[in-house]
Amino acid sequence: MDYTAIVDWLKDNLSVERFEHTLGTAECAEELAERFGLDAEKAYLCGLLHDCAKCFPNDDLKSMICDCGFLCEGEIENPKTYHAPAGAILAKKEFDMCDEEILSAIRWHTLGKVDMTDFEKIIFLADKIETKTRPAELILPIRAVLNEENGLDKALLICYGNTIKSLVDRNLKICKVTIDIYNELLKKLDLKRGK
């Protein structure tokens, strides 16, 4: 992969803040991959590409993902998540990305899914806990559990709990998948604690 070409494309197609967030996510993904024994270079690349579709108009993104039938239940109702499935499509088309692990991690980095791989988990988390644009008071409790046993799942549980609380506080609809993931994480962590 030509990182210079990717970075130049991202500079031209993302807002300044989104570009900073992208660099932060790539760095955080690399750090998490090293910590959890995954491919750090691949994680960095995925972090660079994860929001490649973020600044495109929602109508364009919706058209792109509907044409590919690339949605799960309830996803079409939330335009804030369109960029994730569209980003996987765009990464394949614009950058000839054919690594399915990277494409899947891009696709699921906002909503997530039940039984994410560790690679998908670190991209999801890197997007939420990078330090360039995310507020410290939100990311520190998530980062704090990463060193614990089952740290990835504990960090995910905090992220999903925060998301659900925020949606409830704003009287917004909660996607069924979000609740399913939260419940699955609780069940998984309870089993590991012997409950």
Positions in the chain short of pLDDT 50: none
Q: Could you tell me the two tokens for 33?
A: 């991959």
What pLDDT score was predicted for residue 120?
Answer: 98
**What kind and span of H or E run contains 73?**
none
Q: Which residue has the tokens 């960090």?
A: 155
| Per-residue pLDDT at 186 | 95
Nearest CA to 132 out of 12, 27, 10 is that of 27
How many other C-beta atoms are found inside a 10 Å radius of the C-beta of residue 46?
A: 30
The pLDDT of residue 78 is 80
Let me know the angle formed at the C-alpha of 118 by 97 and 124, rounded to the nearest 5 degrees: 70
Helices (H), the chain: 3-13, 16-35, 40-49, 58-68, 83-95, 100-107, 118-129, 136-145, 151-169, 176-192
